Amino acid sequence: MRYFNYLTNESRATTFFKVPESFNKETPRGILSHALGAMLYMPGTRESIASDIISRKNIGLASTVFCLEDSIGDSQVLFAENNIAQQVKKIHKGLGDQEIEEADLPLIFIRVRNPEQILRLIETMEDSSRIIAGFIFPKFTSESYRYFEVIKNLNDYTVGPFYGMPIIESPRSIYRESHLHELMGIKRLIDSYQDLVLNVRIGATDFSGLFGIRRGPDVTIYDILVIRDCISDIVNIFGRIESDYVVSGPVWEYFANVERVLKPRLRRSPFEDYHDNSGCTGAKIRSQLLNKYVDGLIREVILDKENGMIGKTIIHPSHIIPVQSLYVVGHEEYLDALSIIENSDGQQGVMKSHYTNKMNEIKPHYKWAQKILLRARNYGVFNEQHNFICLLTEDTYV
């Protein structure tokens, strides 16, 4: 898999100073953990999963989740389990029949309800389970060690390797009287299985439900105080330099136009001068984003990044390209990161940036620079004077 592999060679050369590199489930964890991008959830009851993936219906899709938890009814679990197993077998067969190439296969994860469900799925999927990258653990707590024990045993004796991704969303993880103790307990637990942890994910929808809250399309999750405070502590505990965990941003729920209360925050200026060879203008792209209510998503992804999170849970294909285009590294920040890494030999402590508009201080900016270079590897680097708008054309987004 390679991000933006739907672009022509000409478009890729025009857009990127450094093109994204390819990756798959065998890519080293330290790189792969930063490469999940916009992770599209699909209900496990959907019977078109395999055909959608084989036909590459969703442009730009690089990671996806087949969901057996809240996206399906409790009465649908057995049907969904069997359906997912059959869909995985169809995808595996499609690979063997060359209906889809390995390079076009997104990373596939399954969100389960309990550890035993993993074992049933592996048994039913048989050898086709080799295309699965891992499993997602909902309502994860400091006592949920069984999930990782199952994954560890499967990796030792079956067709893995598989990764696990806990979702922090239980009441104990956010209620004031217990949340710090619980988060530290989760940290101690996953530290015991660190090599199996691909991402730490945040269940902001479940957290909101505990307080009878649902954020509107005019605000981001960071405007909801009780959720913001919890996210702050999750990043504080799991996002530290020494922790080596990647924390992913929570889901954005809206994908169609709804009534606005507040003025859109997507400024006109970045779009004004843009146009492509087909005649698509920046003003048109901006209008399309506003109509689909993607401007709120864009703002939230920017805030995710500023708070050290990479990757985003999504529930609609229209979110794939906007999210992933925002992960492409800008030309300026790439040169800053390179300069910091290349001058970290102890000969100097601070230097003027290549764009001569800021200072680059080597010691405090060093880990930031490493993360930028990881993002550049996975998502590429824009050419000078290019930005995410260049990827939001009518052909690929609308």
Are 200 and 168 in contact by the 8 Å Cβ rule? The answer is yes
C-alpha 147/C-alpha 374 separation (Å) is 28
* Same domain? 30 vs 85: yes
Tokens of 61: 């899709």
Does 243 reside within a domain? yes
User: Would you tell me how many other CB atoms lie within 10 Å of the CB of residue 391?
Assistant: 23
C-alpha 156/C-alpha 152 separation (Å) is 6
Q: Map tokens 């906007």 to a residue.
A: 322
* Same domain? 79 vs 145: yes
User: pLDDT per residue over 16-75, tens digit each?
Assistant: 999 999 999 999 999 999 999 999 999 999 999 999 999 999 999 999 999 999 999 999
Residues 6+ apart with CB under 8 A from 241: 367
User: pLDDT per residue over 231-258, tens digit each?
Assistant: 999 999 999 999 889 999 999 988 766 5
CATH number at residue 238: 3.20.20.60
* Same domain? 196 vs 82: yes
Does 175 reside within a domain? yes
* Same domain? 296 vs 374: no
Does 203 reside within a domain? yes
User: pLDDT per residue over 161-201, tens digit each?
Assistant: 899 999 999 999 999 999 999 999 999 999 999 999 999 99
Does 5 reside within a domain? no
Does 141 reside within a domain? yes
When divided into structural domains, the chain yields a total of 2
* Same domain? 297 vs 364: no
Q: Give the residue numbers spanning the domain of 159.
A: 21-268+282-327
User: Would you tell me how many other CB atoms lie within 10 Å of the CB of residue 376?
Assistant: 24
User: pLDDT per residue over 323-350, tens digit each?
Assistant: 999 999 999 999 999 999 999 998 889 9
Does 3 reside within a domain? no
Tokens of 374: 């990881």
* Same domain? 234 vs 355: no
Does 276 reside within a domain? no
Q: Map tokens 């800021």 to a residue.
A: 358
User: pLDDT per residue over 63-119, tens digit each?
Assistant: 999 999 999 999 999 999 999 999 999 999 999 999 999 999 999 999 999 999 999
* Same domain? 132 vs 174: yes
Tokens of 141: 């707590």
* Local confidence band at 398 (pLDDT 50, 70, 90 cut-offs): very low
Does 16 reside within a domain? no
C-alpha 214/C-alpha 321 separation (Å) is 25
* Same domain? 70 vs 172: yes
**What single-letter DSSP state applies at residue 347?**
S
* Same domain? 38 vs 172: yes
pLDDT > 70? residue 285: no
